[in-house]
Amino acid sequence: MIAIIDYHAGNLTSVRLAFETIGAPVEVTSDPERIRLADHILFPGVGAAGSAMQNLSGLNLAGLLRERVAAGIPFLGICLGTQILFETSEEDGGTPCLGILRGSAKRFQPRTHADKIPQIGWNQAKQSRPHPLLSGIPDESDFYFVHSYYPAPADPTDIICTTEYAGTRFASMVGRNNMAATQFHPEKSGQIGLKLLANFVRWDGTVH
């Protein structure tokens, strides 16, 4: 079973429907015991870092997510669910986050009036290294983005894909061991996004 974490800040319906489209069993839940039973965990996100972290703490899920990642469970974060995997976010005046990955989420600094923040729409993901979730996905494929902040890993080996926007080349997919996370929304990225989610369903958490 794939547990989709309900922490009251996720784009739950579109994520659930995407998995149902590929025939994968999912459960939307904030129940710690159901999450512990899951063989895959997906951590979606739409909203702001401060309220998301407050909700996670209130639901007693922050420590559990760290625990399940450390236990080797295949884990996928999406959008805000990617940003708050890092130590801090610049959002909401500076927000302490989960600290599963070293680094921070930074806000785009537009250079010109043509640089619209948030970035909304399709953009290319340039693959920095192979990853099981990218199996069968051509390099520089287009994915759908909606965000004002972006991941800035402290360790460059955590970067899986990069994307350029508003004069910044940022990490659009990150990962380490059994954890991967995308700044883009695979559930909104058509067939190429469904391919990534199908790869996640089959992933055993190892990276060769």
Which of the residues are catalytic? 79, 185, 187
Q: Which residue matches tokens 């990534």?
A: 196
Q: Residue 184: which of 121, 136, 134 has the closest Cα?
A: 121
Q: Residue 151: which of 138, 170, 179 has the closest Cα?
A: 170
What span, in angstroms and rounded, lies between the C-alpha atoms of 60 and 64? 7
Q: Residue 98: which of 200, 19, 7 has the closest Cα?
A: 7
Q: Which ranges in the chain belong to alpha helices (H)?
A: 12-21, 32-37, 49-58, 62-70, 80-83, 190-202
Question: Which DSSP category does 170 fall into?
Answer: E
Annotate 70-88 with b (16+ C-beta within 10 A) or e (fewer).
Answer: eeebbbbbbbbbbbbbbbb
